Structure 1
Amino acid sequence: MPTQQVRCKPRDDRKPVNSPREEARGKTGYAIMWTERQNQTRGLYSEIINRLTQNLVAGRDLRQPEERRRIAQIESWTSIAANIFIALIKAIFGLLTNSIALIADAVHSLSDVLSSAVIIIGFAIASRKPDHEHPHGHGRSEYMSGLIVAIMLIGAGVIFACSSYKRLTGGIYASPSIAAVAAVVGTILIKEFLYHFSIKLGHLIKSEALVGDAWHHRSDSLSSLLVLIALAGNILGIPSLDPYFGFIIAFFIIYTGFRIARNSTSLLLGSAPPEELQEEVVECARNISGVIDVHDLEIHDYGAKKVITLHIEVNQNMPLNEAHIIAHLVEDNINRRFHGETVVHIDPR
């Protein structure tokens, strides 16, 4: 194959040797390398979380109350152990460096154990069997635990805002300390892991309580990040960075708490199910031979359990016993798929 010869243009000393593209690459080369490393780290981090959570749920029916409780307990006990560990580390470094801020933050980490304890209690109540006073079970206690965690999250945001205001008006700023930086960085890493771990499990079992606990971890991570910003601000001669960022993050935490509280309250009050779920239930009924149409569908959510009522239309000339069998087939088909308690009414057509 003949080689292609490229003629080089004579060099013009008045122009830069590098092309504009090369110059841009040179200027942004470090930024591109940093972004690529961040993407690789984020991808590895996500892969670890995905593998860990998939191993926990592989081959299990997450619609069963026992499985939902198992996942909630794993998340909660992991959070409790991590928070106790973080509190001990902060307390030790706080005592060694005589840092009141670190000691106070250690107490705050211990208080985070309460939100995980609320989830354990809520799911334990939800897994109880139906009784005379609660014929459809206790599944909605999950939503109560989600609401309590949301209220705690809102409270954390308000405290965060008040603390930022006091720092801004009182001139209270963080003091640089290698021990403090080490403790804060460790807290951020652990809390970010807990956030991704908890929110992944929360989405898998569709639990507002676990999602709320995940955002509780994220709020702690952001508060620790503020300490780093404050230390950097002191070094750069801008000590007021900490409280201003604190107001922004406090608003974000409070907003997230209200959003989770709204979702939990809506479920407690019996909100309408998603249209996708309604369509799936109707499709399950129509798949049974002899069902002409479906109407008057109602779905009541009780945590992992769903109470479903619907009307099916069958041929008016069909024998009563045959229509009764079709109704039972529809009930069984829906119950198997949605772990529900289904009641079917027959209408002639």
Structure 2
Amino acid sequence: MASITQTRNHSGHKGGHSHHHHHHDNVYLTSQNKNDAGVRITRLGLYSNLGMAIAKGVGGYAFNSKAMIADAIHSVTDLASDVLTLATLSFSLRPPTDKFPTGFGKIESLGSLGVSSMLLFGGLWMGYGSLLTLYGHFFLDPASAAEMMSHAHGHSHSHGHDHASAAPSLHAAWLAAGTVAIKEWLYHATMNVARERKSSVLASNAVHHRIDSLTGIVTLAVILGANLMESAAWLDPVGGLLISLMVVKAGAENTMAALFELADKSIDDEVKASVREQAQKGFVDISEGHDIELRDISGVKSGQNYLVDLEVAVPSAWTIEDVREVEEKTRTRVGSKVRGVRRVRVRFVPKEVAAGPKFDEFIPGDVSPKSSPEPEGEDDNHNGHGDHHKSK
């Protein structure tokens, strides 16, 4: 069996940004080549996200800004998938064993489910806190609002209602402006490397930085608005609510993606198209491809790994050696050219026979007493009882 090389290129993923972090490609983050410009800027982005998430969380609490705390949680959504990838990479790329025949990619899916669920509930909790603040600001007297916020947070603030509904400190604006400046610099630096490399992966990372920058601008605007306008303390919880909705959206998408992976949802059409392209190019190298037909592609995603199944039609006169050559060359080609493919299984069918129904390799699921024979001993017992009754 030909070994699958670990060289990956970008043929399987074309550009286009999605805030769906579970499918975010971390090829530069997990690379061991620290001298590579793409690796350096990606890791710099990771460390910056970590530092800013901590700074915004601490600053938001210290400066009484719900928008900044929500922005800190939003930064964690960007950080979580990268940290998760680093934490699970050694597990997800381990070779399969007898006990785990499909490998260990699902460990990453389980970790992603846990992290994304925490982000989802964190976003909901922040949104709930912002709604309580808004309700207290508009519908309750100061004493009642202070008491409600005290119960909601589980302790009594020394500043009372002033801390719960007052405008955030203007010092929070400097912190927000600083994060916007850093994120804008990261956007331009990452995009410059992406253009040099023509890398859609780095371009996607750059867009992530730009989105964080825009979120920081929202935070900065609500902090300044709450300080510069009279009776506008409500702006900060409104900003916190808006950002928490972004966190909830990202958390919900990541949670669903992890659940779909654990339920073995089929691989994306984009990956299938790339597998088809590379497999057919490989067929051309074998007997000009005239006698080989790729009939079906299926598979599942397991963490960073794609487990792919192909159905290939060849002439019925071909020998086992012939199809073995096709299998080895197809596996090697697809495994080395489509990033993330870790297993390729090929099923051969006669080309002269029409394609069978989809999923015809599965045993029918209707298992009833009539169609499922009982164990021999039980049949004998039942027959014995039946004969006994008949003899009576």
Q: 1:132 to 1:73 in 2, by over 3 A?
A: farther
Greater length-normalized contact order (CA 8 Å, ≥ 6 residues apart):
2
SS of residue in 1 equivalent to 2:31: helix
Q: Is the 8 A contact 1:76 1:117 kept in 2?
A: no
Where does residue 232 of structure 1 map in the other structure?
225
Residue 270 of structure 1: aligned partner: 264
Q: Residues 229-268 of structure 1, C-alpha deviation per residue, up to 9 Å, x if partnerless?
A: 1432342224122233433332232122212222232223
Question: C-alpha distance in 2, partners of 1:158/1:232?
Answer: 24
Shift in alpha-carbon separation, 1:147–1:319, aligned structure 2, 3 A: closer
Count of matched residue pairs: 281
Change (3 A) 1:187 1:68: closer
Deviation at 1:65, TM superposition (A): 9.4
Equivalent in the alignment of 1:160: 126
Which of the two has greater helix per residue?
Answer: 1
- Considering only aligned residues, what root-mean-square deviation do their CA atoms show, in Å? 4.8
Residue-by-residue CA offset, 1:271-314 (whole Å, 9 max, x unaligned): 12233433443441443435332334332323443322223222
CA distance in 1, matches of 2:186, 2:113: 20
Where do residues 166-205 of structure 1 align in structure 2 (5 Å cutoff)? 166-171=132-137, 172-177=165-170, 179-190=171-182, 204=201
Name the counterpart of 2:46.
Answer: 79
Does residue 222 of structure 1 match 2:188? no
Q: Bigger CA drift: 126-135 or 113-122?
A: 113-122
Alpha-carbon distance change, 291 to 273 in structure 1, aligned in 2, over 3 angstroms? farther
Partner of 2:349: 347
Distance 2:202 2:261 in 1: 15
Equivalent position of 1:330 in the other structure: 330
| Residue identity in the other structure for 2:256 | R
Structure 2 matches for 1:1-349, cutoff 5 A?
A: 61=9, 69-70=30-31, 75=42, 78-80=45-47, 82-84=49-51, 87=54, 99=63, 101=65, 105=69, 112=76, 115=80, 117-171=83-137, 172-177=165-170, 179-190=171-182, 204=201, 222=215, 225-226=218-219, 228-239=221-232, 240-283=234-277, 284-285=279-280, 286-287=283-284, 288-289=286-287, 291-338=291-338, 339-348=341-350, 349=352
CA contact (8 A) 1:118 1:148 kept: no
Unpaired segments ≥5 residues, structure 2: 1-6, 13-24, 33-37, 138-164, 353-392
* CA–CA separation in structure 1 for the residues paired with 2:276 and 2:60: 60
Distance 2:235 2:56 in 1: 26
8 Å contact from structure 2 (residues 176, 219) kept in 1: no
How many angstroms apart in 1 are the aligned matches of 2:43 and 2:262? 22
Distance (whole Å) between structure 1 residues aligned to residue 175 and residue 101 of structure 2 = 50
CA distance in 2, matches of 1:282, 1:85: 42
- Residues 164, 246 of structure 1: 8 Å contact kept: yes
Q: Distance in 1 between matches of 2:174 and 2:26?
A: 41
- Structure 1 Cα separation of the partners of residues 110 and 300 of structure 2: 16
Amino acid at match of 2:264: G
One-letter amino acid of the counterpart of residue 226, structure 1: T
Q: Match of 1:70, SS?
A: coil
The amino acid across from 2:201 in the alignment is L
Shift of 1:221: 7.0
- Shift, 1:161, TM fit: 1.2
Distance 1:282 1:226, change over 3 A: closer
Query: 2: CA distance between counterparts of 1:205 and 1:265?
Result: 27
TM-score, L = length of structure 2: 0.55
SS of the aligned residue for 1:264 comes to helix
Letter paired with 2:275: V
Q: Is the 8 A contact 2:52 2:179 kept in 1?
A: no
CA distance in 2, matches of 1:252, 1:131: 40
1:66–1:127 CA contact under 8 A, matched in 2: no
The CA distance in 1 between the partners of 2:186 and 2:264, in whole Å, is 31
Q: Deviations over 1:169-189 (max 9, x none)?
A: 344032453x33212211333
User: 1:334 touches 1:340 (CA, 8 Å); kept in 2?
Assistant: no
Task: Give me the whole-angstrom Cα distance separating, in 2, the residues matched to 1:226 and 1:196.
Answer: 21
CA distance in 1, matches of 2:26, 2:247: 30
Between the aligned partners of 1:164 and 1:305, the Cα distance in structure 2 is 40
TM-score of the aligned structures, taking structure 1 as reference length: 0.60
Distance 2:100 2:260 in 1: 20
Which amino acid in 2 is paired with 1:256? A
What 5-or-longer segments of structure 1 have no aligned partner? 1-58
